[in-house]
Amino acid sequence: MPLLHYAKVNINSNIFDVYDNKVTIQGIMRELFSTIDVNEEYHKVEVRTFKDDEGEEKSVEYREVYNFSELAKEEDVNKLQVSGKVVRRYPIVTEEFDETTRTSRRTVLENNSSSILFYFDLETEIVVFSERQKFGTRQFIEAFQELLNIFHKSVGFEIYLLQDPFSMKERLENAYKIRKIKSTIIPPNVNEEALRDLYDKEVEEMKEAHITKKTNVFEINEKSTQGINLKSKMVEQVLETNEAYEKFARGYGKLEVEGENRDGTLFKFDSEKDSLYQTQIPEREKKSLETFIEYCKKGIAIFSAKKTIDKYTDR
């Protein structure tokens, strides 16, 4: 199922002016909202070297062009939203069939393109997107950042992916339905007393079988009305094992969970320390802009609510 990625648009160059009340983030975002269009382009040029058929080293200039497309802007009081596509244009070498000679010949498509849907909430300063083949997360982040820098000449923006604010325990406790649990264990090279019972039960069996990595996968059918029973003995044992590894031998145990929130949004989470905040969108609905925006808004609302709760409970 396709993942939705969430990134923060940070005002980097003028942040001290914001602190000194010389400018406001809202003012910068409003100006950005009014200037974004489909005409400006970000050109990325790289010089790549290669060896030809005779072994001679040669250089070629590789150029990619990025721009916004099919933009839609929404303004409701102070809520500013922009949606559309980021388009990546780049040359590819392919073959073209000649009907007359009945042969194929090498050709270059100079304006080959690939695009990604995005939703940009300028109030929360969060942009949401779903990567695709030939257009990855890093390429999107770089392109979106450089395009914003073009549209607002006096401000330098920096964009980074958001970390998941929920712990694994919170995900499991709050989820309406758990669809999938994947547990991976690698025997640790440690002798902590806290792992002794775990080692006896889990790792000794792996040692006897000559297994250096063990993976358990629990999964329900997509149409199932009930989620995985977290209180069942089989699941509890796996969760307790991973919790022990997380606490005493980080890196040797990993837990991946996919589930559904009460509002119908889907999520994917793993126990890695730097897990990114991601939600899911059904394959059949990812091409509908209206549905895409709906899923993005829900994901932002959940993230923002969690950060607000943490802000006041940590005091």
Q: 269-305, pLDDT tens digit by residue?
A: 877 656 789 998 888 887 889 999 999 999 999 999 9
pLDDT for residue 314: 60
Using the CB atoms, write b or e for 96-126: b if 16+ within 10 Å.
eeeeeeeeeeeeeeeeeeebbbbbbbbbbbb
User: Which residues have a Cβ under 8 Å from the Cβ of 41 and sit 6 or more positions away?
Assistant: 65, 66, 67
Is the distance from CB of 145 to CB of 163 less than 8 angstroms?
no
Q: What is the pLDDT of residue 273?
A: 56
pLDDT in tens, the chain (315 residues): 788 999 999 887 665 565 666 678 888 899 999 999 999 999 998 877 766 666 777 677 778 999 999 999 999 877 899 999 999 998 887 888 888 888 988 777 777 889 999 999 999 999 999 988 788 899 999 999 999 999 988 888 999 999 888 877 788 888 889 999 888 877 655 555 555 555 555 667 777 788 778 888 999 988 888 899 988 988 888 787 766 666 555 556 678 888 888 877 888 887 765 678 999 888 888 788 999 999 999 999 999 999 888 877 765
Q: Are 282 and 295 in contact (CB under 8 A)?
A: no
- Pick the closest to residue 175 from 275, 281, 257 (CA basis): 257
The pLDDT assigned to 171 comes to 81
* CB 28, CB 152: distance < 8 Å: yes
Residue type, 275: S
Can you say whether the dihedral through the CA atoms of 285, 289, 293, 296 is positive or negative? positive
Strand 113-121 and strand 177-185: the pairing is unpaired
The Cα–Cα gap between 24 and 28 comes to 6
Please report the pLDDT score of residue 149 as a whole number: 93
DSSP 38: S
The pLDDT score that the predictor gives to residue 225 is 84
Q: Tell me, what's the pLDDT at 247?
A: 54
Determine the pLDDT at residue 105: 83
Query: What pLDDT shows up at residue 248?
Result: 52
pLDDT at 266: 82
Q: Give the span between the Cα atoms of 93 and 156, in whole angstroms.
A: 35
pLDDT of residue 212: 77
